[in-house]
Structure 1
Amino acid sequence: MLKNHFNFNAVLYAALMVAAMWLGFLLQYLGLFTGCSGAIVPLSPYGLKGIFLSPFLHGSLEHIFGNSVPIFVLIFLLFQFYPFIAKKVFLLGWILTGFLVWLLPPIDIYTGEFNTVCIIGASGIVYVLAFFLFFSGVFRWNMKFLTVSMVVALYYGSLIWGVMPEELFSQLPEPSRISWQSHLSGAVIGILMAFIFRKSGERKVKFIWEFPNYYSEKDDKLWQEYKENHPEDFLELPYKKKENVWERLDELRKNE
């Protein structure tokens, strides 16, 4: 029974992604990725490879720990409840978010200065998945998917604040190292994909009684079973022949 409801591939894909992230972090520690190598560098041809590599790279243990848990949970939810489009959403979300981050100019919101930045981490994918899972349930208006939306909102609702620069909310001694561009890009792509794929795969089940003007005796299994089990109820019943007054006209005159 568990196999009918639990998608073991969902756990496998989630675990593989987290393992790849930790492998990338290990390679960083060993010095295979230094500086901006493997990072997204906005508007720089050199930084295009970061679209594919940056989710595996992180700046610290705190950084990778902070992304590992939500990545695992959200990938599991995606493949568990949306197996019919999960791979499309994951891969397209990853690439499109990375490309949108690369297109956004790294401009300081206060000074307007153009800064060269190196963006690493899987937070863009986290935002893609979180916003897709939430808005997909809303757009489909299906009870099962809405439940997933509520779970995501409950545990990751605070992510909404990450789509804006941290400097707007607190006085920082130096510019924030958190890439709000990745968060904003992921949120936008997640919402767009939730809308585009809203009619793909499993949809809301509509029962026959939800169609008030529709009834087909052939589709009514209970009615068919009753007819088979009680044929005597459907035999032609005897009835009184309708009296024709004109045939008894002479008889009626005699009685008068």
Structure 2
Amino acid sequence: MLDSTRNGRPRAADTTAARARKGLLVVGSFVLVLYVIEIINTLMLRSLNGTFGLRPRSPDGLLDILTFPLLHANLAHLFSNTLPLIIFGFLVLLSGTRVFFTTLALSWLASGVVVWLIGGFNVTVGASGLVFGLFAFLLVRGFFNRNWWQILLSVVLFLTYGGILFGILPTVAGYVSWQAHLGGAVGGVLAALLLSVPRAGAPRTRQ
């Protein structure tokens, strides 16, 4: 294990402030990419949605799992995902980039797989599955880690944003992909389980 101190002080990269700055940079860069893609898609009359949107149960649609969260139906659709992505993504990134990218990847994959398996007949686009994955991760990780601060944060987030969880139910508006939301949430829970901290007394691997 590498020493993370110098002259008795933690390295800058290990401080909360440094992680916060890095978190804002990473999340901000990802959101900026979404807006650049949205501008290009608009100029191309949304032709990217037909090419790279997720088509359920289509063999070609398996590749669309890699691209569909990057596209949106319109600018308003992207606007609705922007703030939750920034807030939830930033909070996850405070735990480190490995945690963030693992959670993002599992949410992305699970969201796409569920849409491909049980999605409707329409092409699905949008980053809301990632929003649900990051949110679900934040809600449950404290219980897996037995961390009271993380549990307290999950309670605050649930009281503030818990209403979005209705988005995983099939009873929501027909134009909303509850399948993407459900899959993303499953991915977030899986990430929390995978990244959970071993309990006291459990064997630890050396770094």
TM-score w.r.t. structure 2 length?
0.80
Letter of the 1:157 partner, please give it.
G
- 1:162-202 C-alpha deviation (Å, 9 max, x unpaired): 101235xxxxxxx72110110111112212222232226xx
Shift of 1:93: 2.2
Largest Rg, 1 or 2: 1
Q: 2:190 aligns with which of 192, 197, 216?
A: 192
Alignment root-mean-square deviation, CA:
2.2
Q: Secondary structure at the match of 1:199?
A: coil
- What does 1:46-61 correspond to in 2, within 5 Å? 46-61=60-75
Letter of the 1:197 partner, please give it.
L
1:13 and 1:32 mapped to 2: Cα distance? 29
Given that residues 138 and 149 in structure 1 are in contact (C-alpha distance below 8 angstroms), is that contact kept between their aligned partners in structure 2? no
1:190 and 1:180 mapped to 2: Cα distance? 15
Partner of 1:135: 140
Residues 152/81 of structure 1: CA separation in 2 closer, same or farther (3 Å cut):
farther
Given that residues 111 and 129 in structure 2 are in contact (C-alpha distance below 8 angstroms), is that contact kept between their aligned partners in structure 1? yes
Where structure 2 has 5 or more consecutive residues not aligned to the other structure, the ranges are 1-9, 201-207
Structure richer in helix, relative to its length: 2
Shift of 1:56: 1.6
Q: Secondary structure at the match of 1:118?
A: coil
Q: Relative CO higher for 1 or 2, CA cutoff 8 Å, sep ≥ 6? A: 2
1:64 and 1:198 mapped to 2: Cα distance? 31
| Count of matched residue positions in the alignment of Structure 1 and Structure 2 | 185
Letter of the 1:17 partner, please give it.
F
Partner of 1:161: 166
Where structure 1 has 5 or more consecutive residues not aligned to the other structure, the ranges are 107-115, 168-174, 205-256
Given that residues 68 and 125 in structure 2 are in contact (C-alpha distance below 8 angstroms), is that contact kept between their aligned partners in structure 1? yes
Partner of 1:220: none
Q: Secondary structure at the match of 2:50?
A: coil
1:105 and 1:38 mapped to 2: Cα distance? 16
Q: 1:13 aligns with which of 26, 32, 35?
A: 26
Given that residues 40 and 119 in structure 1 are in contact (C-alpha distance below 8 angstroms), is that contact kept between their aligned partners in structure 2? yes
**Higher deviation after alignment, 123-132 or 30-39:** 30-39
1:64 and 1:58 mapped to 2: Cα distance? 6
Q: 1:62 aligns with which of 76, 88, 94?
A: 76
1:149 and 1:141 mapped to 2: Cα distance? 12
% same residue: 30
Letter of the 2:143 partner, please give it.
V
